[in-house]
Structure formats: C-alpha cells, structure tokens
Homo-oligomer: A and B are copies of this chain.
Amino acid sequence: MKLTTKGRYAVMAMADLASFKDQGPVSLSDISLRQNISLPYLEQIFLKLKNNNLVKSVRGAKGGYKLELSPDEIKISNIISAVDEEVKMLNCKKDSKKGCNNKSSKCITHNLWDQLDQHINNFFEKVKLQDLVKKKQILNK
C-alpha cells in the first residue's frame, strides 16, 4: 500500500513551488535539480497540475510555473486528484468476473474499505500546502 511517484512528486514539486513563490516563475529544471526528479517526468506532472488550475505557466526563456492560488488555499487532496492518484480501497465492480462483488450484494469487507477511503481522504482534505512549507514544523493534525 504505497503512493505512486506521480502523487509523491506532485506534492514535492508543489511544495517546492510554494517555497520559491516570491522569486518569479520557477522552471522545472530547477525543481528537477532540487527535488531529484526527472525533467520530462515533471513535465507530464505539471501538464496535469496546470489543467487542474493549480499552477499557471509562463512560456519561453526565463519561464516556468507559478502557483495559481496561495499555499493556504491548496489542499493536498487537490494535488493528489489532479495527477489522478486515486484513493481506491473498494474493489466492487459491475461485471461478475472481476472484483469482489460476485453475488450482486456487497461483500463482507465493503464497509471497511469504504470507511478507510473516507479516513484517508479526510487526511488529504485537512492538510494544506502551506502546512508543508512552514519550515519543517510538525504538522499539527
């Protein structure tokens, strides 16, 4: 049960952006160096962040990305979902072959996974980007 690099890198990159938000647009090559993430991979990630209106781009030389909102307006959940990192513990499907829902009704663990989904999503809703950049403070809930 792990996060994919896409979700992880997206949050790292956004936190990086937040840290340098007063220095004009930040280029992906800068982020790539600081966070040790491959540049073309970052490009893919930022395409999605942009399409979800979390960042805006400045094209051309000396260009880069800036946050669309202030760090205290951006929830981790926004970032996670922007890059299609889904929290998906439930496994029920319509078609009988795959998924645990073979006999029309819900399986014995359905409610458990449903609650777990909510539990995790609540966490991502509660934490803001701002919470990450206040120099390494302990996240207070």
Give the B-binding residues of A (Cβ under 8 A).
1-4, 7-8, 11-12, 15-16, 19, 35-36, 76, 85-89, 91, 100, 102, 106-109, 111-113, 115-116, 119-120, 123, 127, 131-133, 136, 138-139
Contacts and interface: CB of A to CB of B under 8 A. Distances in A.
16 contacts: A1-B3, A1-B87, A1-B120, A2-B86, A2-B88, A2-B89, A3-B89, A11-B109, A12-B100, A12-B108, A15-B108, A16-B108, A36-B100, A111-B136, A115-B123, A115-B127
Given A2-B88, A12-B107, A120-B120, A112 B100 contact: no
A89 B124 CA distance: 13
Given A107-B35, A132-B109, A139-B112, A4 B1 contact: yes
Given A111-B136, A116-B123, A139-B115, A102 B1 contact: no
Contacts of A133: 108
